[in-house]
A = this chain, B = another copy of it.
Amino acid sequence: MITRLHQEESRTLLREGNLARLGCVVAGEPYVVPVHYLFDDDCIYIHSLPGRKITALRAHPRACLQVDEIKDEFHWRSVLAFGSYEEITDADERERALNHLFARLPHFTPVESAMTQVAGTPETIVFRIRIDAITGVSESWS
């Protein structure tokens, strides 16, 4: 039986996760990519190299983040967070967001220097999705 999650349960799942699928709209068509993220209760923070999703979100800022825990087809929870794209260009805010994102990744310590080189380069885009709605559903989850 599929049941709706309480708002707080949905927020907890978003807070504890770090891997989402980001949906956006490219020329009227759906487009979905995996992203690592950080949720701070108002916004979801993401970093990315330039590419199709960034071009898409600049043109059409609505986004949907989907986060789940799936044991099998009949035991799962899934949360959707809807919001709008905002690029972070202020240098201090950008560095703060990148530091928080890196600190959340499980293998931060061993490859810290590589990550800083890869993800902190000037071409890296840092953005947030300002969340305006969260919904969650589960099946046979306790």
Residue on B nearest A102 in the bound complex, by CB: B73
Residue on B nearest A104 in the bound complex, by CB: B73
| In the complex, per-residue mask of A99-127: 1 if CB is within 8 Å of any chain B CB, else 0 | 00000011100010011001000000000
* Residue in B2, B28, B65, B82 whose beta carbon sits within 8 Å of that of A62 in the complex: B28
Number of copies: 2
Residues of B within 8 A of A107 (CB): 72
What separation, in Å, do the CA atoms of A110 and B62 have in the docked complex?
42
A66 to chain B, nearest CB (A): 4
| In the complex, per-residue mask of A56-74: 1 if CB is within 8 Å of any chain B CB, else 0 | 0000001111101010111
A142 to chain B, nearest CB (A): 17
Interface size class of A (residues with CB under 8 A): 35 or more
* Residue in B29, B33, B70, B76 whose beta carbon sits within 8 Å of that of A25 in the complex: B29
Query: Cβ of B28 and Cβ of A32 under 8 Å apart?
Result: no
| In the complex, per-residue mask of A1-25: 1 if CB is within 8 Å of any chain B CB, else 0 | 0100000000000000001011111
Can you name 20 A-B residue pairings with CB atoms under 8 Å?
A: A19-B70, A23-B23, A25-B25, A25-B28, A25-B29, A29-B62, A30-B30, A30-B31, A30-B64, A31-B64, A32-B32, A32-B80, A33-B80, A34-B66, A34-B68, A34-B70, A34-B76, A72-B105, A74-B114, A74-B118
